[in-house]
Amino acid sequence: MKKMIMTPGPTYIHEDVRKAMACEITNPDLDHDFYEFYRDTCNQVKDLLHTKNDVLMLAGEGILGLEASCASLVEEGDRVLCIDNGIFGHGFGDFLQMYGGDVVYFEAEYTSDIEVEALEGFLKEDHDFKLATLVHCETPSGITNPVDKICKLLKSYGILTVVDSVSAIGGEPLNVDEWGIDIVLGGSQKCLSAAPGLTFLSVSQDAWAMMNNRKTPVRGYYCNLSKWQSWYEDKWFPYTQSISEIYGFRKAVERVNTKGDYIERHKKIGQAVRKSLLEGGLKLYPTSGHSNTVTTMMVPENIAFKSLYDTMLDDHGIMIAGAFSHLKDKVLRIGHMGENCYEEKLFITLKALDKTIRKHGFDLKVELHKSFANHLD
Ligand SMILES: *Cc1c(COP(=O)(O)O)cnc(C)c1O
């Protein structure tokens, strides 16, 4: 049976993107046309992020963007702030520490989005930080943080901002320049629906300046963003580029930019998915800040996550996700990202979920897929 992958990344890849990856390659180090292609692709990403800042694409998954930001900016003993309301948010702190950061955590509830007033109160007492890290969408819990307000607040204290938007870029609003984000990073395999394997980041002048004014050299090479400062002028990449992945990624970004309706689409579908689950008598994990790219619901009592997962896959050919760490076996996640964020795909998924949940003995109050359809308008 052909599987439908409805996980919060990797997502379905459109045929045009797959075909682009099969294009004939050139030598990306020597061919000047490739430097132009790489730059044009960065410009497309700038449009997507609403920024004039430099954009880079690196060969490696989203985690590389995250680690490279920490490696390039943090020096031994730097006081840095880790804004933590979830698994990825907390994990950012581990990377900060790995590169010598003296990490202070702003810990918030894992079931809701960051309360800006609480952060404001915290910063009034203590704001001596070189930079702060923040996650846009906490993918395991399905929570989107108010990055706009948080970054503006941090900037008002002169704190540099690094935002992991891997599971939000291309699904939620993101205005890098207006919100004053110094580094935002994404991944190819989430809402942009390209193959896994690339990370991309936008880097502000302040972030470049921080790298250039380091007292100690960056530990490592592959994670050193400053190696990229004049790649275009010098026609030199720090290492050979993953050209086929970049071909595919370019097509994927073009698709998102030319359609231009992605924010509305994700919002409409995210809302309808949540309403249908609630109407069916199910519970969502977050109490606020619900993400429009992934929905995290509680596994009903007395049902094992594994049995829901297996039935969805074996009877219906649909792959959904669980989560890890403290959420393991407690929640079920449906990704509605990028190429998976279409009415027909969620209708089919919810119809299968409806049958699956009933099969395991939970009496739903409405038919999930019908309720979903009713809530689309
Ligand atoms: C997917 C994702 C990443 C990349 O992590 P992987 O587990 O390697 O895919 C980073 N940050 C967030 C918020 C993500 O959703």
pLDDT at 316 over 80: yes
pLDDT for the residue numbered 307? 98
- Rounded to the nearest integer, the mean pLDDT of the chain is 97
pLDDT for the residue numbered 126? 98
Task: Report how far residue 210's alpha carbon sits from residue 183's, in angstroms, rounded to the nearest whole number.
Answer: 12
User: Tokens at residue 227, please?
Assistant: 């190696």
Is the domain 4-8+261-376 a CATH 2.60.40.3880 member? no
> What's the CATH code, domain 15-258?
3.40.640.10
User: Tokens at residue 188, please?
Assistant: 């190819």
Which regions of the chain carry the CATH code 3.40.640.10?
A: 15-258
- 2 vs 246: which has the higher pLDDT: 246
pLDDT for the residue numbered 155? 97
The residue-averaged pLDDT of 93-107 equals 98
pLDDT for the residue numbered 377? 80
pLDDT for the residue numbered 209? 98
**Atom 7 of ligand 1 has which residue's CA nearest to it?**
63
* CA 307 to ligand 1 center in whole angstroms: 25
* CA 10 to ligand 1 center in whole angstroms: 10
Give the tens place of pLDDT for each residue, 7-29.
999 999 999 999 999 999 999 99
* CA 365 to ligand 1 center in whole angstroms: 34
Q: Are 70 and 182 in contact (CB under 8 A)?
A: no
Task: Report how far residue 36's alpha carbon sits from residue 13's, in angstroms, rounded to the nearest whole number.
Answer: 25
pLDDT for the residue numbered 76? 98
With a 6 Å cutoff on the Cβ, whether 142 touches ligand 1 is no
Which regions of the chain carry the CATH code 3.90.1150.10?
A: 4-8+261-376
**Confidence at 105, pLDDT banded by 50, 70, 90:** very high
Give the tens place of pLDDT for each residue, 161-179.
999 999 999 999 999 999 9
Give the tens place of pLDDT for each residue, 231-250.
999 999 999 999 999 999 99
The residue-averaged pLDDT of 78-101 equals 98
Q: Which atom of ligand 1 is nearest to the CA of 165?
A: 13
pLDDT for the residue numbered 1? 77
The residue-averaged pLDDT of 341-361 equals 98
pLDDT for the residue numbered 260? 85
Task: Report how far residue 67's alpha carbon sits from residue 162's, in angstroms, rounded to the nearest whole number.
Answer: 11
Give the tens place of pLDDT for each residue, 196-244.
999 999 999 999 999 999 999 998 999 999 999 999 999 999 999 999 9
Nearest C-alpha neighbor of 368 from the set 292, 376, 352, 3: 352
Which CA distances in Å does 83 have to 78, 115, 122, 287? 16, 11, 11, 19
With a 6 Å cutoff on the Cβ, whether 186 touches ligand 1 is no
* CA 166 to ligand 1 center in whole angstroms: 6
Give the tens place of pLDDT for each residue, 140-162.
999 999 999 999 999 999 999 99
Task: Report how far residue 201's alpha carbon sits from residue 176's, in angstroms, rounded to the nearest whole number.
Answer: 11
pLDDT for the residue numbered 34? 98
Q: Are 182 and 134 in contact (CB under 8 A)?
A: no
At 293 the three-state DSSP class reads coil
pLDDT for the residue numbered 133? 98
pLDDT for the residue numbered 312? 98
The residue-averaged pLDDT of 20-42 equals 98
